[in-house]
Amino acid sequence: MPSGVGQDFEGFLALSRDIGRDLLKTQGAGGNTSFKRDGRMWVKASGTWLSQAAERDIMVPVEIAPLVSALRQGDPRAEKATDFVIADLNGSGLRPSIETSFHAALPQRVVAHYHCVNTIALSVLEGRDALIAERMADLPDLTWAVIPYRRPGTPLAMEIDRAAGDRPDVLILYNHGIIVTGETVDDVRERIDRVTSALAMPERAGTQADFAALRQLAEGSEFHVAEDAGSHKTALDAVSLAVATGGSLYPDHVIFLGVEIGVLAEGQPVASYAAGRRDAGRPMPKMLLAPNKGVLLSNELTAGGRVMARCLAEVSSRIPAGRRPVYLNGAQEHELTHWEAEQYRQALDRKASLKA
């Protein structure tokens, strides 16, 4: 435990771990938490998993005031926040989260940002303003704000900084996730429970994957049957399949799964599909859907990518039939795939997958 932060830090690590171990709250390296004390902030390191918060040194200390000043002055150093790391306390030697600047801008001592699948499913729907207001009306003691989609990093941090002065308890990030804040770990934990209940979206019931048929379709290819049973839900009902193939809903989808989900024709082997892509000069998607059978994943997909396949299943199965999602546009996808900070996070994910 870092010196000078008190016993509350152990509770903060436990909260971070619990968020990271709940697949409906965050997935893989997604999400980040922070803890402030005496002008310093400990924030999750880029590329690390919240689920490991109690067993690995994944928190990076930064100086708050100069980082917030840099953000507000448009100083490009606020993007990576590496220049504000307290080096002699950074035992991990890792970079702070790509979202460190918005944690610093929020004045509350404890901040939890995570990629709640229920919140994402609600926040990508047309008419989301009214839908969210109706749900949050059940929590009249909590202040809240909605944040339009912005690229993670300083664009998002500047948007959040504009709302930070009102000290919102909850911020709902369109096409991204949620932030819950408080002065104590217990405050944040209790608020997370209540907000999770208020924003819950019903999941459509699905059928079972056809593992024998999937193995046959994948034979002789560079793809395999998704090992996680829940990941197959994306291909097992028509609404989920249409949602998943209609576009990109949130940043980590783009980063780990790419901008296209492939769909096999009825009975089409992956080898045949791949040949057609090669002939057309098109790259292979990382994830393929066999309608009414299940999901196939590229053998090159990292651990972070595999868990994002499950996230997509959870989000798409909570999009109501007949409701139109609001997808990221091509320019938003491009800025994510060509962003150095995300390339760094992907590199850490590949390295961790090789060790596994």
pLDDT tens for each residue of 108-164? 999 999 999 999 999 999 999 999 999 999 999 999 999 999 999 999 999 999 999
pLDDT tens for each residue of 63-75? 999 999 999 999 9
Instruction: Return the ∠ at Cα 226 (arms to 223 and 227), rounded to 5°.
Output: 125
Q: Which residues contact 7 (CB under 8 A, 6 or more apart)?
A: none
- Is residue 338 very low, low, confident or very high in pLDDT (cuts 50, 70, 90)? confident
More confident residue, 342 or 87: 87
pLDDT tens for each residue of 213-271? 999 999 999 999 999 999 999 999 999 999 999 999 999 999 999 999 999 999 999 99
Predicted model pTM: 0.93
DSSP-assigned letters across all residues of 148-206: ----TTHHHHHHHHHHHTT--SEEEETTTEEEEEESSHHHHHHHHHHHHHHT--PPPP-
Task: Quote the DSSP letter at residue 52.
Answer: G
Would you state the pLDDT for residue 6? Answer: 64
Residues 137, 122: Cα–Cα separation, whole Å: 15
Enter the tokens of residue 90: 């950074």
Cβ count near 124 (within 10 Å)? 25
